[in-house]
Amino acid sequence: MLATFGAALTVFVAAVAAMLAMRWADHQLRATPLTAPERVPFTGGGEPEYHAWSRYHARYYVMALLFLAFDMEMVYMYPWAVVFAREGMVAFVEMGMFLTILLLGILYAWRERGLEWA
């Protein structure tokens, strides 16, 4: 059973070793430590205008969910395209049902004005 995970363990050990080697090289090659403005994680060292944990409007979450719906559609359509030639009409009907469910979700979001940005 250990042989099954041997390749994954090898890749993990190599990744950890590479990370440690890069951290060591960065520590050795850096002439001076970073100043406080250089350690700020955004806007290239400038002062941030607002806090990183500020809240977003709910419509951004709706857009994100719609994006995930379309993204999942593509994730399922690629393998379906491979199986479609072998399965025939059954696969066609199943994909039709899947797309119908997604279309109903999009129509609902449209009716509830979830697709309007402003």
pLDDT, tens digit (0-9, with 9 covering 90-100), for 56-109:
777 777 778 878 878 877 888 888 888 888 888 998 998 899 889 888 888 888
The verdict on residue 97 lying in a domain is yes
The verdict on residue 49 lying in a domain is no
The verdict on residue 67 lying in a domain is yes
- Structure tokens belonging to residue 20: 């440690």
CA distances 33 to 19, 44, 45, Å, are 20, 16, 14
Query: Which is more confidently placed, 54 or 29?
Result: 29
> How many folded domains does the chain comprise?
2
Contact, 66 vs 109, CB < 8 A? yes
Residue 67: how many other CB atoms lie within 10 Å: 10
Which residue range(s) make up the domain with 37? 6-41
The verdict on residue 46 lying in a domain is no
pLDDT score at 41 = 66
Q: What is the CATH number of the domain that holds 105?
A: 1.20.58.1610
Is residue 54's pLDDT more than 80?
no
Nearby residues of 37 by Cβ (< 8 Å), 6 or more positions away: 45, 46, 47
Residue 18: how many other CB atoms lie within 10 Å: 10
Predicted TM-score of the model (pTM): 0.45
